Amino acid sequence: MNYVKKIFSENTGGNCMVDMVELNDGRILSITDDCVILFDSLAAFYDENAAGNNNAGQWIDLTVTRYSTPIKSEQDAADFFYELHNSDRIFHPDDDPAGIIRTVTGGPLFTPAECVNLRLRVEETRIYMDDPCAYILNEFDPTATDETRRSGPRS
């Protein structure tokens, strides 16, 4: 490889896994499900994460395109809510996603770009579902029975 020295994974604590790409010049690409951050070195990655500041590197937000696909059917609406649920990001459809806070960090759960997309998608679900909130409760409420809950999105 011309530019990559090593590829590995790191457990950054709390079983939070991050894929890492060490470049030949010593810089580190830290890759998660929602971002890629370029750090000057592995030491910089650990210094900034220890300080709780993982925004200090050059940030590439992978979530900008998340939730950007318009909902065009009841199935799309169901799949949308399953994606939110399965990524631990489900919220009440009447709430503004910008007001949802990560309990661990106290910061916003969604990026500004995600909030724009989420507001649009939630409104689109209302076209295909009479009551998105009732749908969420029926599908994801832990007290629901197997008979009232599907096992996952229909394909």
Report the Cα–Cα distance between both ends of the chain, in Å, rounded: 39
Q: Give pLDDT tens digits along the chain (155 positions).
A: 789 999 999 887 777 788 999 999 999 998 887 778 888 888 888 886 544 454 456 667 665 557 888 999 999 999 999 999 988 899 999 999 999 988 777 788 888 888 889 999 999 999 999 999 999 988 888 776 655 545 444 44
- Residue 51 is predicted with a pLDDT of 47
Whole-angstrom Cα Rg for the chain: 19
Q: Write down the pTM of the prediction.
A: 0.55
- Residues 92 and 12: their CA atoms lie apart, in Å, by 30
The residue ranges of every structural domain in the chain are: 4-61, 64-140
* Rounded-to-integer distance, Cα 131 and Cα 115, Å: 21
- Give the separation between CA 71 and CA 76, rounded to whole angstroms: 5
- Which tokens hold the place of 120? 């649009």
Q: Nearest-CA neighbor of 28 among 42, 9, 11?
A: 42
User: What is the pLDDT at residue 33?
Assistant: 73
